[in-house]
């Protein structure tokens, strides 16, 4: 029998979970909003040969979690639960706890992420019409710390192992690199006003006068706002900060990208994982991206969180000059924004963990085309606290909402009325013991149609923020998804 997280302490969440699992008529293997709690039979076996995970991402991919070429890719869904509202995290956790308590697990590997796991994507706001979801895949190919394994899941019966793991996860065909410069795309209208600094957006910027919605290469891109409109929203947010309504506010921009071809999640994941190996690349349901920010990682009673706040775009995927990097690291505005984000994490961890340790000084995290101020936070978890409990407590951090959280979210709701959906929300996985990894869904897009994706990126605003620079930062943060959509290589 698999170990399971401690029972949830919130009776209301337990009632929500019970209702989600005991009413309705959903079929096994589909959304578990009905029938009695199913019993899953989970088998994990070791793969003796070396496995190149990125070369075996299946065409019918259902979920992915990859960093530095390791992690997991998944097929199908043996069980899932959808939750909404204020209790969405607690209800999902309670439902998975019940499932784990009944599951029969044969795990010969006993590595991180082997055995019974659930992958999840949560919505930013309690009021979001987009449901949050936890799902247990039917098959997982994993590579963790160089050890490869295959997990298969049966519903109310023992799973059948394939003759070879490659029967489920065959080698994917290699993608040919495109040299078509016409495929290079950026948010149309981004440079037409002359108010975006040079180097702030990817190459292939449309010429001055490009209309707000136009074809750029093979993609049609339509920002939700013109540069002038977005910069005015930034000014309005800054005015509210100066009025004392908040100390920091994180606004975001949305860009709708339409492709003449069907969008392939497996191909997007492969491109992101190869171009941005140090990020956490994720895919589940409608969200895909490459996050640089770990919200909550737990293992053996310890929790780790990486806080990013304060960013500098860099032209042509270069790096800041050392003098510019020193200036960035000591910039009062950037450090102020960063401090708010760090304090939002440490203050919320206090009743979940002890012995908090924080980077003595922010360090600079270098990614292609963008550098961030970063701090690492770690602590000893209290008994019974799961990775999802921590993610729920930390969400939304000041890095994606602001300070104070309640006032910042009110300003966001007023200036950014479109629902954020899964943007800037926890995405990741959890095992039957409650350990797992939950990143913040950044550098991302919602897959909203067969040929359509909505990119979303944001930036933190404080009293000293400059609207033009903030708009440039937001555009720079769309680079990973734009490149994945058009097939460019970073660097």
List active site positions: 248, 293
For 29-141, where are the alpha helices, taking DSSP H only?
88-102
Beta bridge partners of 240: none
Structural contact between residues 266 and 278, judged by C-beta atoms closer than 8 angstroms: no
Both ends of the chain: CA-CA distance in Å? 48
Structure token pair of residue 397 = 């951090």
Structure token pair of residue 305 = 């969180």
Beta bridge partners of 40: 155
Give the chain's radius of gyration (CA, Å).
Answer: 22
How many other CB atoms are found less than 10 A from the CB of residue 274? 16
HSE toward the beta carbon, residue 396, CA cutoff 13 A = 29
* Locus of tokens 């000591």: 330
Structural contact between residues 320 and 334, judged by C-beta atoms closer than 8 angstroms: no
Structural contact between residues 71 and 143, judged by C-beta atoms closer than 8 angstroms: yes
Structural contact between residues 54 and 275, judged by C-beta atoms closer than 8 angstroms: no
- Rounded distance, CA 412 to CA 452, Å? 25
- Rounded distance, CA 371 to CA 297, Å? 22
Tell me if residue 286 falls in helix, strand or coil.
coil
Structural contact between residues 93 and 118, judged by C-beta atoms closer than 8 angstroms: no
350-355 CB contacts, 8 Å cutoff, 24+ apart: 351/382, 352/303, 352/381, 352/382, 352/385, 352/389, 352/390, 352/393, 353/303, 353/379, 353/380, 353/381, 353/382, 353/385, 353/390, 354/379, 354/380, 354/382, 355/379, 355/380
């Amino acid at each position: 029998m698999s170990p399971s997280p401690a029972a949830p302490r919130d009776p209301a969440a337990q009632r929500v979970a019970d209702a989600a699992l005991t009413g309705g008529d959903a079929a096994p293997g589909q959304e578990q909003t009905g029938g009695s709690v199913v019993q899953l039979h989970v088998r994990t076996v070791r793969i003796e040969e070396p496995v190149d995970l990125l070369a075996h991402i299946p065409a019918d991919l259902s979920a992915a979690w990859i960093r530095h070429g390791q992690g997991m890719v998944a097929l199908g869904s043996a069980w899932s639960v959808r939750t909404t509202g204020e209790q969405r995290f607690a209800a999902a956790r309670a439902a998975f706890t019940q499932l784990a308590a009944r599951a029969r697990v044969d795990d010969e590997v006993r590595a991180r992420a082997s055995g019974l796991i659930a992958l999840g994507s949560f919505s930013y706001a309690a009021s979001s019409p987009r449901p949050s979801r936890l799902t247990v895949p039917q098959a997982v190919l994993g590579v963790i710390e160089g050890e490869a394994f295959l997990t298969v899941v049966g519903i109310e019966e023992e799973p059948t192992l394939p003759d070879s793991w490659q029967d489920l996860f065959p080698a994917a065909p290699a993608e040919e690199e495109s040299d078509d410069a016409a495929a290079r795309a950026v948010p149309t209208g981004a440079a037409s006003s002359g108010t975006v600094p040079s180097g702030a957006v990817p190459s292939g910027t449309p010429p001055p006068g490009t209309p707000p919605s136009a074809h750029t290469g093979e993609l049609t891109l339509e920002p939700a706002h013109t540069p002038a409109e977005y910069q005015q929203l930034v000014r309005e947010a800054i005015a509210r900060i100066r009025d004392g309504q908040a100390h920091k506010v994180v606004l975001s921009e949305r860009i709708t990208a339409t492709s003449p071809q069907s969008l392939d999640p497996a191909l997007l994941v492969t491109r992101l994982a190869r171009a941005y190996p140090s990020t956490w690349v994720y895919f589940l349901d409608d969200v895909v991206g490459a996050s640089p920010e770990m919200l909550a990682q737990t293992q053996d009673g310890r929790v780790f969180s990486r806080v990013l706040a304060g960013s500098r775009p860099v032209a042509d995927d270069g790096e800041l000059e050392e003098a510019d990097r020193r200036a960035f690291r000591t910039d009062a505005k950037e450090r102020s924004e960063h401090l708010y984000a760090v304090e939002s994490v440490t203050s919320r961890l206090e009743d979940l963990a002890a012995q908090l340790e924080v980077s003595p000084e922010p360090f600079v995290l270098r990614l292609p085309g963008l550098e961030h101020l970063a701090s690492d936070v770690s602590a000893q978890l209290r008994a019974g606290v799961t990775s999802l409990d921590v993610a729920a407590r930390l969400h939304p951090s000041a890095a994606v909402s602001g300070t104070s959280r309640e006032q910042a979210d009110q300003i966001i709701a007023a200036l950014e009325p479109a629902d954020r959906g899964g943007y800037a929300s926890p995405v990741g996985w959890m095992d039957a013991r409650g350990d797992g990894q939950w990143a913040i869904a950044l550098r991302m897009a919602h897959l909203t149609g067969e040929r359509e994706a909505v990119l979303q990126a944001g930036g933190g605003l404080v009293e000293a923020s400059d609207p033009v620079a903030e708009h440039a930062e937001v555009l720079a943060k769309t680079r990973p998804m734009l490149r994945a959509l058009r097939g460019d290589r970073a660097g």
